[in-house]
Chains A and B, each alone.
Chain A
Amino acid sequence: MKIEGGQCDDVRVLSCAPAGETGRKYGMWVLDVENPGWPKVIAGQFAMLRPERFGLTLVWGRPLSICRAEPDRIRFFFQEAGRGTAVMAGLAPGEKLTLWGPLGKGYAVEPETPTLLLAGGMGLAPFVEYVLSHPAPQNLHLVFGHKPELSCYPFDALACGRGREAHREEKPGDLEAFLAVLDERVKAYADGLVLACGPKPFLTAVARLGAKYGARTQISLENRMACGVGACLGCVEEDARGHYAQVCKRGPVFWTKDLKFFQGAGS
């Protein structure tokens, strides 16, 4: 019998280039690989990537959000964070990598519901696919918080009918101002849908606001992963019932109400 899951293929790198003019400075990269014939992708799903170059040294693949799935290519948007992503940054066209995906559960798509997208830094990645594949982008509103220049991010391509705003954190005080913006926006979408991706402190703030205004809220978690397919039980997060759930399978996108971590977020 077959259960839901991805497929595993050896694919070629098409390109790996710095993201924007200054991307190299921040170690931010856009990686395109061959699309091995994936079925439909749901924005928020991810893939595991393991370049041949990892050899025996790095045993695990690296989880990255699917930034864009097109018939001929899958795009990822990543930042160097350690040994594996440093190797990935050096990938040349034609190099082989093992790719398994699409994996996990993506974001809810409710075409008629006013939907607020909240992205922090690299958390913009899944929203590229989300916005570009959404049946009614006129109902979307994107709020983006970032530190490196905006030109490092695929922000301009994201046309959202209800609004699109970017806030850069450069000096002390910017973060507080950004949090105030988030508060106002979530309040305005209390009857809509709030979707977030970014660093955990950012997600915690969003979850707290979602609870404060009673907005239905989904967030995407980035727990450390080995298998990506639900087998190793390494990536678990405690759910609202007190059980450890595999983030790679039950998530990475969760309703905040289903997670223990965010239960107390309202108080």
Chain B
Amino acid sequence: MMDMRVNLGKLSLKNPVVTASGTFGYGLEFSPYGDLAKLGGFVVKGLSLKPRMGNPVPRLAETPCGMLNAIGLQNAGVNAFLRGMLPQLPWRETAVIANLYACDPDEFGELASILAAEEGVAALEVNISCPNVKEGGVLFGQDPAQAARVTEAVKKRAGDKPVIVKLSPNVTDIAAIARAAENAGADILSLINTLSGMSVDIRTRKPRLANVIGGLSGPAIKPVALRCVHQVRKAVSIPIMGMGGISSAEDALEFILVGANAVQVGTANFMRPDFSFRLVDELPLLLKKIGAKSLDEYRGSLRLD
């Protein structure tokens, strides 16, 4: 059997399959469908300092080859997660990654310091796709200077936990944001988050989401995601977790081919709840089938001549 272990700097995973934040609950929801410990890791739903109620419904709309969501980061707050859920998760056997959401750098830092103290948390993934309320609503993820400030704030208080900065594709130059995060101390980058989108109903003349605008995910965004990973791979030297529309082992390998060290699976978990568990088995078989010698040999081997 091919060795599927990957090291993303300090973060070691037993295989490159990680589930994406917001699509895998807190993990337990999927435990009837597979062994969580089998996954390379899972990123839990975005956590904020205080509980958040989230957006009104409808929060979801299905679109061709994808979906829009405007959940609004409903979550019970970081403390409820640490007390109620983390102890039930198999964090000794697999990487449980926390996803952080806040609206100013101080709050990000505070969240980071709370999570850094937890043995069960393998790494911190910073969601910089929210507006900076203090700076008048500029998205952290859309401005290199702001992305750097958040990265620094988290890094300073993250102790020895690897810090993953999650990039938004809704920017003109994703490589510039990636470099800013790397220079500010990010250990790993993950990308992409959802693409900003919208859907309307011509009969009722209403938007399909109560929030009007939402985030597009699923197979429809894969070409955009691949392009982003390709550009970021050329721009930085830190490890990358690639995601966006992965719905087969072939898709996962495409991301690895352009240089991703690991992949995250989001919307495909809704296509069938055992998707990610199956992907763990399918990936080495497919690598072998296409004649790759190893995962390391295959990674980043895109021929650009």
Interface residues of A (CB under 8 A from B): 1-8, 50, 56-61, 98, 100, 223-224, 226-237, 243-244, 249
User: Which of B60-68, B187-195, B253-261 interfaces with chain A?
Assistant: B60-68
Contact: B62 with A231, CB < 8 Å?
no
B58 within 8 A of A: yes
For chain B, the bracket of interface size reads 35 or more
Query: Is B137 part of the binding interface, using a Cβ–Cβ cutoff of 8 Å?
Result: no
Asked, given contacts A59-B62, A223-B57, A236-B57, whether A8 binds B271 with beta carbons under 8 Å apart, the answer is: no
Q: Which of B29-37, B139-147, B162-170 contacts A (4 or more CB under 8 A)?
A: B29-37
Interface residues of B (CB under 8 A from A): 22-25, 28-33, 45, 53-54, 57-60, 62, 64-67, 69, 71, 74, 88, 90, 218-219, 247, 267, 269-274
| Smallest beta-carbon distance A223→chain B, Å | 7
* CB-contact partner of B28 in A3, A56, A228, A236, under 8 A: A3
A236 and B58 CA atoms in complex are apart in Å by 9
Q: Contacts A224-B60, A236-B54 known; A231 to B31 CB distance under 8 Å? A: no
Cα-based distance from A127 to B57 in the complex (angstroms): 28
**How many Å lie between the Cα of A8 and that of B66 in the bound state?**
21
8 Å CB contact of B218 from A59, A98, A229: A59
A to B contact number (C-beta, < 8 Å): 111
| Chain B positions within 8 Å of A232 at CB level | 22-23, 25, 60, 69, 71, 270
Given A233-B54, A243-B53, A244-B74, are A56 and B65 neighbors across the interface (CB < 8 Å)?
A: yes
Known: A7-B32, A59-B62, A60-B270. 17 other contacts (CB 8 A): A3-B31, A3-B32, A4-B32, A57-B64, A59-B65, A59-B267, A59-B270, A226-B62, A226-B69, A231-B23, A231-B30, A231-B269, A232-B270, A234-B58, A234-B59, A236-B74, A237-B57
- Which residue in chain B gives the minimum CB-CB distance to A247? B57
Contact B270 A226 (CB under 8 A): yes
CA distance A234 to B66 in the complex (A): 15
Determine the main DSSP class of B at the interface with A.
loop
Contact B64 A8 (CB under 8 A): no
Q: List residues of chain B with CB within 8 A of the CB of A61.
A: 270-272
Query: Contact: A2 with B74, CB < 8 Å?
Result: no
B270 touches A8 (CB 8 A): no
Write the nearest CB–CB distance from A86 to chain B, whole angstroms. Answer: 14
Taking a contact as CB atoms closer than 8 A, the residue among B31, B53, B71, B270 that contacts A2 in the complex is B31
Closest 3 CB pairs of A and B: A5-B32, A231-B25, A234-B60
Instruction: Indicate if the CB atoms of B33 and A5 lie closer than 8 Å.
Output: yes
* Least Cβ–Cβ distance between A239 and chain B, in angstroms: 12
| Cβ 8 A contact of B272, one of A2, A4, A50, A243 | A50
Kindly state the separation between the CA atoms of A62 and B269 in the bound complex, as whole angstroms. 14
Complex CA–CA separation, A8 to B30 (angstroms): 10
B271 touches A60 (CB 8 A): yes
Query: What is the CA–CA distance of A242 and B59 in the complex, to the nearest angstrom?
Result: 17
Evaluate whether A6 and B32 lie within 8 angstroms (CB atoms) in the complex, with A227-B269, A233-B74 already known.
yes
18 contacts between A and B (CB under 8 A): A1-B31, A3-B28, A59-B67, A59-B218, A59-B219, A60-B270, A60-B271, A61-B270, A61-B272, A228-B273, A229-B32, A229-B33, A231-B29, A231-B45, A232-B25, A232-B69, A233-B45, A234-B57
